[in-house]
Amino acid sequence: MIRKLASLAVLTPGAPVPGVEERELIRDLGIRHFVLFRRHFQEEEASRELVRVLRTLSGEPGYLMVDQEGGRVQRIGPPLAPEFPEPLNVAREGPERILAFSRELARTVKQWSLSVNLAPVLDLAGEEAPDFLRGRTLGENPEKVGELGRVFIRGHLEEGVLPCAKHFPGLGGVERDPHRELPRKKEVSAADLLPFREAVKEGLPLIMTTHLLVQEWGDSPVTFSPRAVKILREDLGFSGLVLTDDLAMGALSEYELPERFLLALLSGHDLWLYCGNLPEACSALEELAREVSGSRVLRERLTETLERVKRRFSGLTVKIRYNRPTP
């Protein structure tokens, strides 16, 4: 049971490489998906070794993810990669520049044998955005963001890297930073959804939701909302993988960690991102495994999720073309 649950988690290994305890957990629990940060890209040889170790320990193919948006959110930077400009500044130069920018980012991701870039940011926000979003977006005009988002996605797919648009259903207009507290919106507008709708038309393979309470959708954050996932699937027609934002964020501080994983499962999210301590995440998953083992309803829900992810994963992996780690 624990291996089934662990196969849906996206976790962060220690840096520069996992220690003995983490290596045993990754191997024994069958953890397949990982997200990497700036601390994992400090020195070339160590970074190559990290990727090799993760691929070897996990045994089965999985996703290696990174936030390589450009600007202040780029995990692969000097001396291993150039400093990229802020997406908002690039967006002002138009679609052709966004396409080149997207390809440059994707090539950097691919160079390090990673398969998923957690970008683009499709929230509607411009110069006056709150600090946690400022410079990371493609603008505040929904039609323009929709157009540029499609171009960005196209550039990544052409380079063989899977883009993951975020943060559904859009954080435009909120002031609270979900890294610290739970933001709220009375409703989500058609304008908020438009960039994501356009992204789906372009063949977007993954979408990341956000920790946002939308009052018209109920009392749960989008991260734990079956209604939000249903809107993604049925209204937007999205058939790819739905990923939570980081379950370690302050917006979810009222929930115990095993409960966060459980509610993500029940909401219909395919993959659960947790960027905190890896052994801590594994302990929470083991606690959840005991609960799932004792519940027929939860076992059925887990089986449904695993089957759905297997179908979608096999359909997406054929698009990935990345460089193998250097021996």
- Which residues are catalytic, by number? 179, 245
138: part of which helix (H) or strand (E)?
A: none
b/e map of 152-169 (b: 16 or more CB within 10 Å)?
A: bbbbbbebbbbbbbbbbb
The tokens for 173 are: 């207009």
**For 85, left (φ over 0), alpha (ψ -120 to 50), or beta?**
beta
β-pair type (73-74, 162-168): unpaired
Amino acid, res. 223? T
Q: Are 163 and 121 in contact (CB under 8 A)?
A: no
Q: Are 236 and 196 in contact (CB under 8 A)?
A: yes
Euclidean distance between CA atoms 154 and 140, whole angstroms: 21
DSSP 222: G
